[in-house]
């Protein structure tokens, strides 16, 4: 039985509506631990590290650096181990 990848969504960042992908800390195929930084997000008010909500292998990064992203939008898929 295979376990489906978990979709990771952009969290709310202090009410910001304009969020940009600043950098990815992990690449496709790399392991990420729960709570480990997955990406950096930039707003006009704050730069934030977005942690992974689960441990696993990064299956897909759904956005490129510089892409705009909204709270609740899918940003990555992580396959649990």
Averaged pLDDT score across all residues of the chain: 93
Q: What percent of the chain has pLDDT over 70?
A: 96
Q: Residue 2's pLDDT band (boundaries 50, 70, 90)?
A: low
The arithmetic mean of pLDDT across residues 18-23, rounded, is 95
What does each C-alpha distance from 27 to 41, 73, 77 come to in angstroms? 16, 19, 11
pLDDT value of residue 15: 82
Structure tokens at 21: 């992908």
Q: Residue 74: what are its φ and ψ, rounded to 5°?
A: -60, 135
Whether residue 61 contacts residue 52, with contact meaning beta carbons closer than 8 Å, is answered with no
Specify the CATH number of the domain 6-79.
2.40.50.100
Q: Where are the domains of the chain?
A: 6-79
Enter the pTM of the model: 0.89
Angle at 53 between CA 49 and CA 59, to 5 degrees: 95
DSSP state of 2: P
Instruction: Give tens-digit pLDDT for 21-58.
Output: 999 999 999 999 999 999 999 998 889 999 999 999 99
């Amino acid at each position: 039985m295979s376990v489906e990848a978990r979709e990771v969504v952009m969290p709310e960042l202090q009410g910001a509506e304009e969020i940009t992908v600043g950098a990815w800390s992990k690449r496709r195929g790399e392991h990420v631990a729960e709570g480990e930084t997955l990406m950096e997000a930039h707003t006009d008010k704050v730069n934030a590290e977005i942690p992974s909500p689960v441990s696993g292998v990064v299956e897909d990064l759904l956005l490129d650096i510089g892409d705009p992203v909204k709270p609740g939008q899918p940003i990555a898929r992580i396959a649990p181990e």
